């Protein structure tokens, strides 16, 4: 019984949040990795692209809510998502036309593009705060829980409860659908194959008559979709605040680099590795330990690191990977 309680506590506080957070990071890291593979630079503006996508979706959601539209148990934001994606696609395509293309034509070094993307990041940062403000925004509606802790306890008679938020399940389901669609696209369609070809060997791709501008545009559209979906899922699960998206940049890059920059499969694995490391290291294991080893009464919380320092986890992972395996687990391009 105690072991079951320990398991439930583990699922409730570590596993479920880890899976949801991992899915969000994976989607974010996919966007970063695609840009790196095809445009060959680390896009620091990705976190703020997610914030912009989420913001556009939120504004649309509010409007739909004011009209009384609702999806029943599902959040209205799902309905607003296509609009958010379209707005973000326009923004990044516009940015590419105005900013990145200029440097592409100059054949600027990747380092320069990274710095340029930082400039873009500050612009987007300001844009989002200007439009929606710096505060927390709630836009989640529909059912809050699939199962609450109390219901679970009544059902099973266990002392520990397992609460599953509907947004967590939604996050995972949407992430799975998006990932399947993306891999199908990259591996089976001609456009996807030309993107892979372009990432593999740019010179040869050009010689094969593949238009670079088209590949770049399609990449941005896909990245806008990924960023918006990731941003909205994160916002639904936690809450929307522009600054948190800026902070997400670190774990997202850690995820992309752990998996191997430029490798989509690696980005997904990296997302979960970073998420689970963060959650397990900052979780107070006292309760679980209490069930497993009742005789052992730990004095502290059995918490390796306070949640205030959770970003240190990503940072540590990043450094370890860069020191010992710079190409990442799945052999991406060396950074």
Partner 1 sequence: MIVVEDLHKHFGGFHAVDGASLEIAKGSITGLIGPNGAGKTTLFNVIAGNLPATAGRVLMNGEEITGLTPHELFHKGLLRTFQIAHEFSSMTCRENLMMVPAGQSGETLWNTWFGRKRIADEERALRAKADEVLEFLTIEHLADHKAGQVSGGQKKLLELGRTMMVDAQIVFLDEVGAGVNRTLLNTIGDAIVWLNKERGYTFCMIEHDMDFIGRLCDPVIVMAEGKVLAEGAASEIMQNEAVIEAYLGRGLKNKVKAEADA
Footprint on this chain of partner 1 (rule: CB under 8 A): 185, 189-194, 196-197, 200-201, 203-212, 214, 218, 221
Which CB, 111 or 181, lies closer to partner 1?
181
Q: Which residues pair with 164 in a beta bridge?
A: 147
Q: Which residues pair with 137 in a beta bridge?
A: 240
Q: How far apart are CA 194 and CA 188, in angstroms?
A: 11
Smallest distance from partner 1 to CB 258, Å: 20
Q: How far apart are CA 209 and CA 177, in angstroms?
A: 32
Smallest distance from partner 1 to CB 193, Å: 7
Smallest distance from partner 1 to CB 252, Å: 24
Which CB, 86 or 221, lies closer to partner 1?
221
Which CB, 193 or 310, lies closer to partner 1?
193
Q: How far apart are CA 115 and CA 154, in angstroms?
A: 55
Smallest distance from partner 1 to CB 159, Å: 51
Smallest distance from partner 1 to CB 67, Å: 29
Q: How far apart are CA 164 and CA 147, in angstroms?
A: 5
- Listed as own residue / partner, the contacts of 129-136 with beta carbons closer than 8 Å and 24 or more positions apart are 129/242, 131/55, 131/59, 132/55, 132/58, 132/59, 132/242, 134/241, 134/242, 134/243, 135/241, 136/239, 136/240, 136/241
What phi, psi does 128 have (nearest 5°)? -65, -45
Which CB, 191 or 307, lies closer to partner 1?
191
Which CB, 33 or 194, lies closer to partner 1?
194
């Amino acid at each position: 019984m105690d072991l079951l309680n320990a398991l439930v506590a583990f699922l409730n506080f570590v596993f479920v949040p880890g899976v949801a957070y991992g899915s969000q990071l994976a989607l974010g890291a996919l966007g970063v990795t695609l840009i790196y593979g095809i445009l060959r630079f680390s896009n620091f503006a990705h976190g703020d692209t997610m914030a912009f996508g989420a913001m556009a979706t939120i504004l649309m959601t509010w409007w739909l809510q004011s009209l009384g539209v609702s999806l029943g148990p599902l959040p209205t934001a799902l309905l607003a998502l296509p609009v958010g994606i379209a707005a973000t696609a326009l923004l990044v395509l516009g940015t590419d036309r105005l900013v990145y293309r200029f440097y592409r034509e100059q054949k600027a070094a990747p380092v320069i593009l990274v710095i340029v993307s930082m400039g873009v990041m500050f612009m987007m940062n300001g844009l989002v705060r200007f439009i929606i403000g710096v505060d927390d925004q709630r836009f989640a509606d529909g059912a809050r829980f699939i199962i609450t802790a109390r219901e679970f306890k009544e059902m099973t008679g266990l002392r520990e409860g397992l609460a599953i938020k509907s947004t967590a399940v939604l996050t995972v389901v949407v992430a799975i659908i998006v990932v399947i669609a993306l891999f199908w696209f990259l591996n089976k369609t001609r456009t996807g194959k030309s993107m892979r070809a372009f990432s593999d060997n740019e010179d040869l791709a050009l010689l094969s008559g593949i238009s670079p501008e088209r590949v770049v545009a399609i990449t941005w559209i896909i990245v806008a979709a990924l960023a918006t979906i990731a941003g909205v899922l994160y916002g639904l699960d936690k809450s929307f605040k522009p600054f948190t998206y800026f902070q997400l940049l670190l774990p997202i890059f850690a995820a992309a680099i752990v998996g191997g920059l430029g490798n989509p499969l690696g980005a997904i694995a990296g997302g979960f590795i970073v998420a689970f490391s963060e959650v397990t290291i900052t979780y107070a294991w006292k309760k679980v330990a209490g069930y497993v080893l009742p005789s052992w009464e730990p004095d502290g919380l059995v918490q390796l690191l306070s949640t205030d320092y959770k970003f240190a986890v990503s940072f540590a992972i990043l450094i370890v990977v860069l020191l010992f395996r710079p190409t990442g687990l799945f052999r991406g391009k060396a950074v």
